[in-house]
Amino acid sequence: MSEDTGGWFADADPEDSGSAAAAVRDGCAETPDDWPERAVEAGFAEDADDYYERLRAATIAATRAAVREAERADDRQLVHAVRAMDDCERTANELAERLHEWAGSLFEGVEAGVDGARAVADREPSGPAEARAVSLAERAVALDEEAADLRAYVERAAPEVAPNLAHLAGPVLAARLIALAGGLESLAKKPAGTVQVLGAEDALFAHLRGHAPSPKHGVIYVHEYVRGTRPEDRGSAARALAGKLAIAARGDYYRGEFNPEIERQLEERMATIHARAEEGERGE
């Protein structure tokens, strides 16, 4: 903002925190100045102390607005969804396990797992204990169904938020990588080596303390290119996959355009790894 405007507060209403916050976020100055004095001259503040108090309130309001805006971003919604999905799945399984122990003492032939909970939820209770067991079963089933709905949302949303990453990793794994990194921007700025071990932080810290070997992979283990490769070649497969996932994340964040070339390059690299493995097996 130029000298003529009188500072960031020139068009701000001192009694309107929203107006002042917008001025703080959008305003700028070409050169330094005695802003408290200018604010008093402009009638924005009564004195320097009042100016700094108003500035503090405006910056806090601006920060809160920026946080709200960031939290509403599509990648943040994806992070919340995949974390909620994992929470629902874990809790549903824990409740189903507890229910199996309880309902097994009340009913005949109770199966373990969420499927067993579904069968119990369909029963007609004949006493207070049975009523509570059936109610618990209903809640386990409801959580499992919520997890399924959240998974469907993640599978729809991930390709929109990160088309390259979702195509390469699959929607759910892509969402988990974004969540572990703290957002798409953060993931896009991480080196391939960090992407490779996301989700294996405990093992990595144990390695750094000298108590365990270096982890070869984190959550990317669930990808068929890593899980489906023989153990002695999984390190190479994980490095190849992580390298392309890092490139995909950068492309999604900085360009937002789908690039099929990334997958082609990964397939070529994986073909080389598998060919090397086959040669090793023939030589044994």
216: CATH: 1.10.246.90
Torsion of CA 266, 152, 93, 197, to 10 degrees: 30
Q: 163-215 pLDDT, tens per residue?
A: 999 999 999 999 999 999 999 999 999 999 999 999 987 777 776 777 777 77
Question: What pLDDT is attached to residue 2?
Answer: 38
pTM as predicted: 0.73
Instruction: Give residue for tokens 């805006």.
Output: 69
262 and 154 housed in the same domain: no
**With 0-12 CB in 10 A as exposed, 13-18 as middle and 19+ as buried, what is 28?**
exposed
Radius of gyration of the chain from Cα atoms?
28
Whether the CB-CB separation of 118 and 99 falls below 8 Å is answered with no
> CA 164, CA 60: separation in Å to the nearest integer?
37
187 and 263 housed in the same domain: yes
Q: Single out the residue in 45, 71, 97 at which a domain terminates.
A: 71
Q: Single out the residue in 118, 133, 158 at which a domain terminates.
A: 158
> CA 244, CA 240: separation in Å to the nearest integer?
7
Q: 59-115 pLDDT, tens per residue?
A: 887 777 666 555 546 899 999 999 999 999 999 999 999 999 999 999 999 999 999
**Continuous H helices in 104-209:** 113-121, 128-161, 163-169, 171-181, 184-188, 192-197, 201-208
Cβ neighbours, 10 Å, residue 211:
9
Which of 191, 173, 186, 185 is CA-nearest to residue 242?
A: 191
Q: Single out the residue in 99, 128, 158 at which a domain terminates.
A: 158
Instruction: Give residue for tokens 């701000």.
Output: 12
Question: What pLDDT is attached to residue 106?
Answer: 95
> CA 238, CA 144: separation in Å to the nearest integer?
31
Residues of the domain holding 237: 162-284
Q: Is 41 helix (H, G, I), strand (E, B) or coil?
A: helix
62 and 108 housed in the same domain: no
153 and 175 housed in the same domain: no
**Residue type, position 61, single letter:** A
241 and 134 housed in the same domain: no
> CA 77, CA 95: separation in Å to the nearest integer?
27
Number of domains in the chain: 3
Question: What pLDDT is attached to residue 200?
Answer: 83
99 and 144 housed in the same domain: yes
Q: Is 256 helix (H, G, I), strand (E, B) or coil?
A: coil
247 and 168 housed in the same domain: yes
